[in-house]
Amino acid sequence: MEDEGRVRRGIAMTLLGGTLWGINGTVAGYLMDAYDIDPFWFACMRELLGCWLFLIPAWLGNRTALEEAISSPQNLLRIYTVGLFAILFSQISYLQAIFWTNSATATIIQSLGMLLVLGFICITTRRLPRKREMLGVISALIGTYLVATGGRSGQLALPPLGMVWGILLAASAACLSIVPKRAIEKWGNFTVNGLAFLMSGITLAFIVRPWERIPAFDLAGLALFAFCIVFGTFGAYALFLQGVRDAGSMRAALLGAIEPVTATVATVLWLRTSFSVADIAGFALILAMVAFTTGADEG
């Protein structure tokens, strides 16, 4: 009964984290267009500023775990691996995929990471995909495709750099559901996230040198940027990665497909556009995926 409650909590956290990501994607896309922000600068500053929202609670709430995590080079290397593959790559590849293609195509490609997660789990547990898992994957992929493109396949043409960043995006989406799980189980969500964000932000800062090209934010731009840090970074990653721990990698990867639904709703409300038939069909399929996933067994 305790495990069932933990899984349900993980499902709720994963859905909420994906929802915040969906809203954040709409806000981030607007900021990059309206204020001419480079995606690398955006990702770097989100990491360097957002890491403290994790590290301060980790220090106040579980100092022993934080001190243990930084006590040896082996532990730091393990967390740096999380920062590199689960944090830095997922942020950069998503922003760059949007920059070189469009948000619809980026969302579709990101959902393909679910197939990589399923393949990883099946290989490591030496089993074939279960019926519910396959139904969930198929529903999520078709639903995401309909929501992101409105059923018009012509939007999927990719430039070469768009293809490269799209492949990295799918791989990073899978890494985000797999790589951090054991480290979070050992040291906790806030400790691992805070250190991973700090390490990846410092790494990216050497390349980006963010202090040399600060965007000309007005008050509205600063407010939206703060939203991306507090809710789109701290809130989304904390909830999603806790969901990975509680609900499992496969469920988290599938439930993360709620992101394109939220992104579409946020865009419609913001831009005052209307839903298409394809949007409604996509919503229904992704909600069906949630039903399939909540009963799926990871082991």
Residue 53 pLDDT exceeds 90: yes
Lowest mean pLDDT among 90-99, 155-164, 288-297: 288-297
Q: What is the pLDDT of residue 250?
A: 65
Angle at 81 between CA 77 and CA 86, to 5 degrees: 155
Average pLDDT score over residue span 287-295: 64
Average pLDDT over residues 16-34: 83
pLDDT tens profile 85-136: 888 888 888 878 877 776 666 766 777 777 777 788 888 888 887 887 788 7
SS (HEC) of the chain: CHHHHHHHHHHHHHHHHHHHHHHHHHHHHHHHHHCCCCHHHHHHHHHHHHHHHHHHHHHHHCHHHHHHHCCCHHHHHHHHHHHHHHHHHHHHHHHHHHHHCCHHHHHHHHHCHHHHHHHHHHHHHCCCCCHHHHHHHHHHHHHHHHHHHCCCHHHHCCCHHHHHHHHHHHHHHHHHHHCCHHHHHHHCHHHHHHHHHHHHHHHHHHHHCHHHCCCCCCHHHHHHHHHHHHHHHHHHHHHHHHHHHHHCHHHHHHHCCHHHHHHHHHHHHHHCCCCCHHHHHHHHHHHHHHHHHHCCCCC
Q: Which of 186-190, 213-217, 232-236, 284-288 has the lowest mean pLDDT?
A: 284-288
pLDDT at 157: 46
Name which of 138-152, 191-205, 216-230, 250-264 the model is least confident about: 250-264
Task: Indicate whether 2 pLDDT > 60.
Answer: no
pLDDT at 15 (0 to 100): 84
The reported pLDDT for the residue numbered 9 is: 82
Confidence class of residue 30 from pLDDT cuts 50, 70 and 90? confident
Share of the chain above pLDDT 70, in %: 83
What is the arithmetic mean of pLDDT over 10-21? Answer: 84
pLDDT band per the 50, 70, 90 thresholds, residue 158? low
Q: What is the pLDDT averaged over residues 236-255?
A: 74
Mean pLDDT of 72-86: 89
Query: Is residue 275 left, alpha or beta, with left meaning phi > 0 and alpha meaning psi from -120 to 50?
Result: beta
Domain ranges of the chain: 2-294
